Every structure is written in C-alpha cells, then in structure tokens.
Structure 1
Amino acid sequence: MKVFAAVSALALAMPAAAQVPGTGIDLSVEADLMSDYRFRGISRSDEDPALQGAVTVSHDSGFFVGARGTTLSGIDPFRLRDPDLDDLGDLELDVYAGYGSDLGGGLSVDGGLMYYAFLGHDGPANYVEPYASLSYLLGPVEATAGAKYAPSQNGTGDEDMLYLFGEVEAGIPFTPVTLRAHVGRQDWGSYGRYTNWSVGGGYTMGPFEIGARYVDTNLPSTAGQDAGVVLSLGVGF
C-alpha cells in the first residue's frame, strides 16, 4: 500500500511532458484503480478492488527500466495445486527491464526480463520471467504476439512456466475510444495448463482512462477464476 501511495502521489505531481532535456530520457507514471486484479485471467485480489501504480524510465535508444506495484488479497486459486505455493501476500512488485525497437513497415519488437516479488507471502513466490513480443501496426489497429517463459525455480514450484499470448488493440478514428482483445495460453508443467481471454476497451479523457473488460478462462467456474467484468480508472503521464 505504501508503494502504491508513493507512486500515486508522484503521478499526480508529474507534468504532462516528463522528459529530461538533452538526455533522450523519458519518465512515465501510471496509477490505476481496478474492480479486480486479474493476472492471466485469475484474480489475485479475491475479486475485490485493487490499486496499481507504475513508473517507467525509457531512453531514445529503446532501452527501458521500470517497476509496478499492485495490492493483493486472498489466494491465487491456480497456485493452490501445490500446498507449498500458498498466499502471495499483500503486495506484488514487478521490476522490469528491456529493449523495444521499430523495425519499419509497421513492425516493432519488444523484449526483456520481469522479476515478480511478493511482499508478505507464505512459501516460495518470487520468480524471474524473460519475455519477447512482436507487434504489427496498420492504421489504428495494432496486433501483438509474444511469449513469456519462466524457467524452473522455487517461485514456480520447480516447474517451467510458458505463457503464449496474442492481443489486438484498435482505436476508433475520431473518438476517444480504444477497443482491446487478448487471448493467452499458460502451460505450467505438472500444475496444469489453461486458456484465458478478455475483450473490452477504454475511454480516454486527457490523462485519464475509464476501462471495462470481460475476462474468462476455460478453468472450472469457481471463485477467482470464473468469468467477470473488470472496471478500471487510470491516470498516466
């Protein structure tokens, strides 16, 4: 909670153009209030509201680093497949670094490393996950396909975890509305595999965005992994 409060305060204090003159460095800050925090279709907030804040520092060369904090509650039902993978705690802190580049012709590439840390967790939880994605932009429509792979480590229950995903984002011309769709497939070794998907969009008003999306998985319809509508209110600079 303290991490998010600090990020939120910074977000509200940031000017619209957060650039360091003469350095090629940009600073972006985001803060979001969500009706539910869904990670790959599964709730990590016990289907209750969550707060999220992020800070990213990027350079004209394409390199970037950042961190994102999200409040948690309850227990991730998918992790309960192993009694050693228990409560994730009160706060998820994602630290990331990577590189993105425009390849020309509407193509762009992005790759990097994510480190997931959980504050106040029980049992092993923290883990590292490299990722890579390729995007294609045609007019107002951008399609992305990518993969995230976490090699066997304590936080993944000593199993490899592979997540393949695809998403489409389309801005409706001459309106502040953006439509989004996402589908992903997670394979977590002996813990099982499942598919998740979501459809929705956002309405932008200056630095604010109001969002709504329908989220579902092909897992049994039980609390934390059943279908639901997630609402959000975000601000970014």
Structure 2
Amino acid sequence: MNHRITALACAVLLAAPLSALAADESPYSWEVAAVSDYVFRGASQTDEDPTVQAGFTYTTAPGIYANVWASGVDFGTDKPDYEVDVTIGWNTDLTEQVNFDAALTRYLYPDAGSNNYNELITTTTFADTYSATVAYSNDVWNTDTDGWYVAVGGEWELPQEFSLNAGLGYSTFEKDVAEDYLDWSLGVSRAFGPATVGLTYHGTNSRGEYNFGETADDRVVLSVSFGN
C-alpha cells in the first residue's frame, strides 16, 4: 500500500501545540533529529529503518506560525524517498489552563506528488499536561476519502529530570481505503546538555497490523534531537 500515513511537523503520535510567544523570545525555532524509525500513528514510514529529520518554525506575536519539516521515508517502493510537511497554524491561550492550536498541514512528497494531501489538525492542551487532538482530511493519502484522527495524550515530569509521555489515538475512514484502527505510544525522554534523548514504545491493534503489515508491529524507537 503506497499511501501510508505521514507525520505532522508537530507530531510523533500525537502533536502538541506551540507555546504562546512571549515578547522577549525569538520568533524562530528549529530542530534536527536522528531516529531509529520514523513512526506516525503507529506505522513505520521508513520500512523500519533509521532516518534524519529537521524542522523550522516562525511564530508571530499574535500566535500565527509557519512550519516546514522534512524526513526521509520508505514505503517499500522506489519513490518517495522523502517527505516535506508545510504547516500554517494559530496558537492561543484560551485561559490560564487551556491552550488551543489549529493548523493546516500539506504533506508533500516531491519525488512522488501523487501521494500529496492536506490535513486540518486541532489540539487543545490542559494545564500544560493533557492534550486532545482532532484531525480531519477530505483526501486522506490522496484517495478522495474523508479521514478522521482523534487522540488523547499527556506528559509528566519524573525524577532525575526525566519526563514521561503517553498517547492513544484512533483513525477512522469514510471509505474502505483501510480498516479503522487504534494506535498507542509510551515514552521517556531526558535532556543531556544540548541533546534530548527519547525512547518510545509504539503499537497498534490488529486492524492497524492488517492495514500496514509488519510496519505496524510493536516497536521501540530511539531518538536524539537538537534544537532551540
């Protein structure tokens, strides 16, 4: 199956919104990462191989931001070899405890344009800890099919400067392009100087494995990232 789900710039599973920009902060941010496997919503995008990823974000004072993110991919065919996601979004604090983020992402495969599609993603974060994501595409995987993704997640501080994150998501499709399926993740991470190291377990239910085969099997992913 060529049209595998691909990643959002702000997501590893589940996507978390950008923090509201303070007046004395730079409007620019960037991140470069090496990962042992690029997993998006439970399925490997690199045929279970490692890759390098990079992203750049510009945020304006009212909370409008633009992001470009790129990664290598391997769907088991000659093309595509890489993915570029372009995102325009808006981020705001609704209250002191609630943050809201809405983003429109264009998933691009420059060497295989027939895979390109759009997705609208909203994420609401509560108390800087819990998140709820709703995503919609009217052309998921460029199949002229409506697709929805809903997810909940959280992130908690642990002793020794470690952090724990967890997520549970559900993908559903209007037509029979794929079976509706569940995905989940559980990970730990820690900063070591300029680098952040993460170890995350990913899995799907049997319907996810039916859709994507071995690339949706349970797996553990190691990541090392640098950024500001």
Alignment-derived partner of residue 214 in structure 2: 223
The correspondence for 2:199, drawn from 201, 212, 237, is 212
Alignment-derived partner of residue 27 in structure 1: 28
Runs (4+) off by over 3 Å: 22-25
The correspondence for 2:126, drawn from 126, 136, 153, is 136
Q: Give runs of aligned pairs for residues 26-65 of structure 1, distance below 5 A.
A: 26-65=27-66
Instruction: Check whether the contact 2:37–2:50 (CA below 8 A) recurs between aligned residues.
Output: yes
Counterparts of 1:35 and 1:47, CA distance in 2: 8
1:24: how far off? 6.9
The change in CA–CA distance for 1:97 and 1:87 in structure 2 (over 3 A counts) is farther
Larger Rg: 1
Say which SS state the counterpart of residue 27 (structure 2) adopts. Answer: strand
Instruction: Check whether the contact 2:209–2:215 (CA below 8 A) recurs between aligned residues.
Output: no
The correspondence for 1:148, drawn from 135, 141, 146, is 135
1:74: how far off? 3.1
Alignment-derived partner of residue 117 in structure 2: 127
Instruction: Check whether the contact 1:25–1:60 (CA below 8 A) recurs between aligned residues.
Output: no
Q: Give runs of aligned pairs for residues 144-223 of structure 1, distance below 5 A.
A: 144-152=131-139, 155-172=141-158, 175-189=160-174, 190-191=176-177, 192-218=179-205, 219-220=208-209, 222-223=213-214
Alignment-derived partner of residue 74 in structure 2: 73
Structure 2: gaps of 5 or more residues: 1-22
The correspondence for 2:105, drawn from 114, 123, 127, is 114
Counterparts of 2:157 and 2:142, CA distance in 1: 36
Instruction: Check whether the contact 1:171–1:178 (CA below 8 A) recurs between aligned residues.
Output: yes
The correspondence for 1:95, drawn from 71, 86, 92, is 86
Deviations 1:155-202 (A, max 9, x none): 4311111111111011226x3211100111011221221110000111
TM-score by length of 2: 0.81
Aligned AA for 1:171?
E
TM-score by length of 1: 0.79
Instruction: Check whether the contact 2:118–2:139 (CA below 8 A) recurs between aligned residues.
Output: no
Which stretch shows the higher mean deviation, 182-191 or 193-202?
Answer: 182-191
Aligned AA for 1:125?
N
The change in CA–CA distance for 1:87 and 1:224 in structure 2 (over 3 A counts) is farther
Structure 1: gaps of 5 or more residues: 1-21, 76-85
Instruction: Check whether the contact 1:88–1:125 (CA below 8 A) recurs between aligned residues.
Output: no
Instruction: Check whether the contact 1:24–1:59 (CA below 8 A) recurs between aligned residues.
Output: no
Percent same amino acid among aligned pairs?
28
Instruction: Check whether the contact 2:29–2:56 (CA below 8 A) recurs between aligned residues.
Output: yes
What value does the CA root-mean-square deviation take over the aligned residues? 2.0
Counterparts of 1:220 and 1:30, CA distance in 2: 31
1:88: how far off? 5.5
